[in-house]
Structure 1
Amino acid sequence: MPDRLPAMPSPSPLADAPPLRFLVIESETAEQRDRRRERVGKSSGESYSATLEQLAPGCACDRVAPADEDAALPDRDAIRGWDAVFVTGSPLHIYDDSPATRRQIDFMRRVFAAGVPSFGSCAGLQLAIAAAGGRVRSMERQEAGIARRIARYGEGLNHPLFDGRGPAWDAPAMHGDEVEELPPHSTLLAGNGVSRIQAVEIRHDAGIFWGVQYHPELSLAEIAAALRRDADDIVEAGLALTTDAVADRAAMIDALDTRPDRLDLRWHLGVDHEFAETDRRRTEIVNFIRHLVIPTRLKRDEAMPVAA
């Protein structure tokens, strides 16, 4: 009897990519970053940077925190010095009209104006939606742990963001807000039965943004920690009967993080290799770098004048 399910082909590694510079936007406040470090050892931006450094060896990752009142933020021209911008998830509610959210929306508009390719996960998608003129709302019931049966729509059927994906897949997710209305010049790429909008391309000002409502950058251990953090809310939403049930689910996801080949855990959780295996979960990030970031970088290099 096999000890694991057969895997689909994985995206090609990015080890042969040119040296890349990435800017990671922390969408958490300073307090939220500190709380996350206490739970899992890293802020969302630090987690994102670690993932990018694994995917693109030799890349340089810088982080900014526009939610912070005293943040030193690069201007439009300085942003053009990076090859791509990544926007993290967070407990941010983008519809709250607070100084922190306004600063983040303003900075995301600066990213669009710079024309640098950008990518966002969860609240990172919602931030880009709001910056480009769309709307975000609170959900009646959150999506906790696993976003199931995400399927491509329309132009998403052949979009390079999903190269290597099957017709439908599960992904790590943790959100109580969702996109309500897409901004102008955006394309819906994928959705599921919980959130109709799970992946989007936005063309705004000079920029192109690809984003997903789920978390391709996170480890399963980080998702398990988020379940424990939100256990009371998950029970209140009716997704679990008790906080002990949430803890049991988190423990299984934790165990799968350590042993992604365990068929018993996959069976109990109702997932396959797309959720269990790290390289499969990161498909969208790899595709963004391969199909948008690197071609944009090479085109820019070709346009640079050759020194005499």
Structure 2
Amino acid sequence: MPHLLLMEGNPAGVRAKADKLQVRSASEVYATAIHAHFPDIRLTVINAADPDAALPEGMGLGDFDGMVISGSSLRAFEDDPGITRQIDLLKAYCETGKPVLGSCWGLQIAAIAAGGEVAPSPIGREIGFARKLTLTPAGQVHPYFNGKPASFDAPCIHYDEVSRLPAGATLLCGNAHSPVQGAVIPIAKSEVWAVQYHPEFDLAQMSMLFRLYGRDLMEQGFFETEDQAASYRGHIDALVADPANKSAAWQLGIDADIIDDEKRRAEIINWVRHRILK
């Protein structure tokens, strides 16, 4: 079966904090999503932000059939060695001509690697569910979005966005919050299929994020009281326990785009089928 290189976007300190809180790492979340549909695919995680990051002994970048880039808490436009190392690894991997998939952080560093720009969103954080993601004409016919409707919702969390796509990139989708929500970005001999949102997230991950960032979300005006925040999380937890819970889905304003695993992860499934298993 294929062997993929999975780049963990967070540095050691962030991973250690997550582990202490019993929160899954970004790469663990992605691995769960991939293996839910392709259990036989081999995954090797590389903590590319770390100065001692290395491939398994005896292996080179060309030995992997593709690369997957997870999310990250880093800010792609900052001058940080942990960021530079990841961008450099992405550029080096793209010299192999093998395909690359990215979510959120993956889209942002791909844009920078190819000469584009990333900046804080002028309207702040997008969290929970990215609403009314709309496919461009190019996105409507691209295999990355096979099976997706012309407009849909998806799990998300980000402060930053691609403010300028690099030359040669193809915009595939956007919404009112961030005009660039999905794109194909050519780099060297390869191309990156990436989205700003998180198709790899499940509802349990979304519940965890609202618990982790609850106070921040109140300060930012998403919730007025702790009771409001707890009620919102409760609806998500109800769907984790029972995806058919009509009341919880209605009160969150979500449907099969989010609740159905195959629909939510369609971008990941499509990339594997069209770029890895072709």
Q: Alpha carbon RMSD of aligned pairs, Å? A: 1.7
Number of residue pairs the alignment of both structures matches: 276
Question: How many Å apart are 1:118 and its aligned residue?
Answer: 0.5
Residue 235 of structure 2 contacts residue 249 of structure 2 at CA under 8 Å; is this kept in 1?
no
Q: Aligned pair 1:107/2:89, yes or no?
A: yes
Q: Structure 2 CA distance, aligned partners of 1:242 and 1:112? A: 47
Question: How many Å apart are 1:73 and its aligned residue?
Answer: 4.4
SS of 1:148's equivalent in the other structure is strand
Q: Structure 2 CA distance, aligned partners of 1:227 and 1:74? A: 36
Residue 131 of structure 2 contacts residue 175 of structure 2 at CA under 8 Å; is this kept in 1?
yes
1:176 corresponds in structure 2 to 159
1:306 corresponds in structure 2 to none
Residue 113 of structure 2 contacts residue 187 of structure 2 at CA under 8 Å; is this kept in 1?
no
Letter paired with 2:3: R
Q: Structure 2 CA distance, aligned partners of 1:179 and 1:242? A: 32
Question: How many Å apart are 1:127 and its aligned residue?
Answer: 1.4
Letter paired with 2:112: A
1:186 corresponds in structure 2 to 169
Q: Structure 2 CA distance, aligned partners of 1:236 and 1:251? A: 20
Question: How many Å apart are 1:199 and its aligned residue?
Answer: 0.6
Deviates more, 1:226-235 or 1:61-70: 226-235
Q: Structure 1 CA distance, aligned partners of 2:262 and 2:140? A: 21
Q: Unmatched 5+ residue regions in structure 1?
A: 1-18, 296-308
Question: How many Å apart are 1:278 and its aligned residue?
Answer: 1.5
2:231 corresponds in structure 1 to 248
Question: How many Å apart are 1:74 and its aligned residue?
Answer: 7.6
With over 3 angstroms needed to count, the CA separation of the structure-2 counterparts of 1:206 and 1:74, relative to structure 1, is farther
With over 3 angstroms needed to count, the CA separation of the structure-2 counterparts of 1:66 and 1:88, relative to structure 1, is same
TM-score, with structure 2 as normaliser: 0.94
Letter paired with 1:132: A
Q: Structure 2 CA distance, aligned partners of 1:38 and 1:291? A: 38
Q: Aligned pair 1:68/2:75, yes or no?
A: no
Deviation readout 1:54-89 (Å, 9 max, x if unpaired): 2112111100011101111489x9212111110000
2:147 corresponds in structure 1 to 164
Deviation readout 1:212-232 (Å, 9 max, x if unpaired): 111111111111111222223
Q: What is the aligned counterpart of 1:289 among 255, 272, 275?
A: 272
Q: Structure 2 CA distance, aligned partners of 1:191 and 1:43? A: 27
1:92 corresponds in structure 2 to 74
Query: How high is the sequence identity, in percent, across the aligned residues?
Result: 35
Q: Structure 2 CA distance, aligned partners of 1:108 and 1:294? A: 21
SS of 1:196's equivalent in the other structure is coil
1:56 corresponds in structure 2 to 38
Deviates more, 1:244-253 or 1:138-147: 244-253
1:147 corresponds in structure 2 to 130
Residue 12 of structure 2 contacts residue 50 of structure 2 at CA under 8 Å; is this kept in 1?
yes
Question: How many Å apart are 1:141 and its aligned residue?
Answer: 1.6
1:116 corresponds in structure 2 to 98
Question: How many Å apart are 1:181 and its aligned residue?
Answer: 0.6
SS of 2:128's equivalent in the other structure is strand
SS of 2:198's equivalent in the other structure is coil
Residue 189 of structure 1 contacts residue 201 of structure 1 at CA under 8 Å; is this kept in 2?
yes
SS of 2:95's equivalent in the other structure is helix
Q: Aligned pair 1:132/2:114, yes or no?
A: yes
With over 3 angstroms needed to count, the CA separation of the structure-2 counterparts of 1:146 and 1:258, relative to structure 1, is same
Q: Structure 2 CA distance, aligned partners of 1:42 and 1:272? A: 25
2:26 corresponds in structure 1 to 44
Letter paired with 1:221: A
Residue 40 of structure 1 contacts residue 225 of structure 1 at CA under 8 Å; is this kept in 2?
no
Q: Aligned pair 1:268/2:251, yes or no?
A: yes
2:188 corresponds in structure 1 to 205
Question: How many Å apart are 1:157 and its aligned residue?
Answer: 1.5
2:12 corresponds in structure 1 to 30
Alignment of 1:223-262 (within 5 A): 223-262=206-245
SS of 2:73's equivalent in the other structure is coil
Letter paired with 2:190: G
Q: Aligned pair 1:219/2:199, yes or no?
A: no
Q: Unmatched 5+ residue regions in structure 2?
A: none
Q: Structure 1 CA distance, aligned partners of 2:229 and 2:109? A: 29
Letter paired with 2:170: T
Residue 124 of structure 2 contacts residue 159 of structure 2 at CA under 8 Å; is this kept in 1?
yes
Deviation readout 1:146-172 (Å, 9 max, x if unpaired): 101111013111111111111111111
Letter paired with 1:147: A
